């Protein structure tokens, strides 16, 4: 397994934008993926020319129609080329051969833990086998790969006070976490220079879709339903557009291995919910009145849950120009007009 000693040798291997680059974002219609597309387009626009007014091409793979995917970043929708392609039905190599990307940010995943428990075969095919295929193609063609993983590769034991580092022993408790860990192994075996970015709980603007940790809370409260939030589950949340910017920056690094992209605040889900409502203008008593604090044992979520998978993102903070934001700053960004 790649550890801290290897990733500490990170060095930028090219200018931020190469005129010949062709960027592919998989899972582009998802909560994270839509923001990654926006961040990739912003990077591409820095080298726009008269012949390429949006800069080098950005391809956005989506399992279904992209028509309802929100546009972030203020760019025109057709700045990215959207493609419908289902990795569970077709070989990823066919898409890669057609597009010939020079870099890939692989976000596609079966992100519902309950869905993974119900269909572990599909989770394994999408997470491990598709990721292995993409990594093998990238290694063969010399394309840079940033593979998106999760803090849920941990969880069998609680995180130490400072959070799990890249060298900490893994131990997933769910099918989702286990298949994502196997995907990490498959990717680094096939493409040792790939970056494996472990992400935490993500929150922020989902474009009105009620996705992510904050918008799901706001949607429930708006509907008159008190969200049940865990008082005994601890995470290190990160605002989704902030995560997307960090993922795009990882394309500029030559060395590979795991790297944690997480916020600096260790916080339980209930307190996080209070902060979300406070950011929307509610008073402390009003915020508490809208939420219900519960323990994990009180709620059946359809999949085993970890108690504390907090991540230590010191490594990323020392090497990336993108500043990983705390919850207060992240919520300010998420609700900014």
What the chain holds in terms of domains, given with CATH numbers, is 4-200+240-262+312-325 (3.40.50.720)
- The set of long-range contacts for 323-327, using a CB threshold of 8 Å and a minimum separation of 24, is 323/242, 324/238, 324/242, 324/246, 324/261, 324/262, 324/263, 324/264, 325/238, 325/239, 325/242, 325/263, 326/263, 326/264, 326/265, 327/237, 327/263, 327/265, 327/267, 327/272, 327/275
Task: Give pLDDT tens digits for 232-291.
Answer: 999 999 999 999 999 999 999 988 899 999 999 999 999 999 999 999 999 999 999 999
Residue 77 has pLDDT above 80, yes or no: no
Q: Quote the pLDDT of residue 24.
A: 98
Residue 165 has pLDDT above 50, yes or no: yes
Query: What does pTM read for this prediction?
Result: 0.93
Q: What mean pLDDT value characterizes the chain? A: 92
């Amino acid at each position: 397994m790649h550890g801290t000693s290897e990733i500490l040798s990170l060095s930028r291997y090219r200018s931020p934008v190469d005129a010949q680059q062709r960027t592919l974002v998989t899972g582009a219609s998802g909560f994270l993926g839509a923001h990654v597309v926006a961040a990739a387009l912003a990077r591409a626009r820095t080298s726009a020319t008269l012949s390429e007014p949006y800069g080098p091409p950005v391809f956005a793979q989506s399992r279904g129609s992209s028509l309802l995917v929100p546009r972030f970043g203020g760019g025109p929708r057709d700045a990215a080329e959207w493609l419908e392609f289902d990795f569970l039905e077709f070989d990823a190599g066919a898409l890669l051969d057609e597009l010939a990307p020079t870099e890939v940010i692989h976000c596609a995943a079966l992100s519902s833990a309950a869905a993974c428990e119900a269909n572990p075969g599909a989770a394994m095919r999408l997470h491990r086998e598709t990721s292995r295929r993409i990594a093998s193609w990238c290694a063969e063609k010399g394309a840079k790969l940033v593979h998106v993983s999760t803090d849920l590769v941990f969880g069998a034991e609680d995180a130490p006070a400072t959070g799990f580092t890249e060298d900490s022993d893994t131990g997933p408790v769910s099918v989702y976490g286990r298949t994502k860990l196997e995907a990490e192994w498959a990717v680094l075996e096939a493409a040792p220079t790939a970056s494996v970015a472990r992400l935490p709980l993500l929150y922020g603007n989902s474009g009105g879709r009620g996705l992510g940790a904050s918008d799901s809370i706001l949607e429930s409260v708006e509907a008159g339903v008190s969200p049940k939030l865990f008082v005994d589950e601890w995470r290190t949340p990160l605002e989704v557009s902030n995560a997307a910017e960090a993922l795009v920056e990882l394309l500029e690094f030559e060395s590979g291995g795991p790297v944690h992209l997480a916020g600096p605040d260790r916080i339980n889900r209930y307190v996080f919910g209070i902060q979300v409502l406070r950011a929307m203008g509610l008073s402390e008593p009003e915020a508490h009145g809208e939420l219900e604090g519960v323990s994990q044992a009180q709620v059946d979520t359809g999949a085993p849950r970890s108690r504390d998978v907090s991540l230590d993102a010191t490594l990323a903070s020392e090497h990336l120009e993108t500043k990983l934001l705390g919850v207060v700053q992240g919520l300010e960004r998420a609700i900014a007009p």
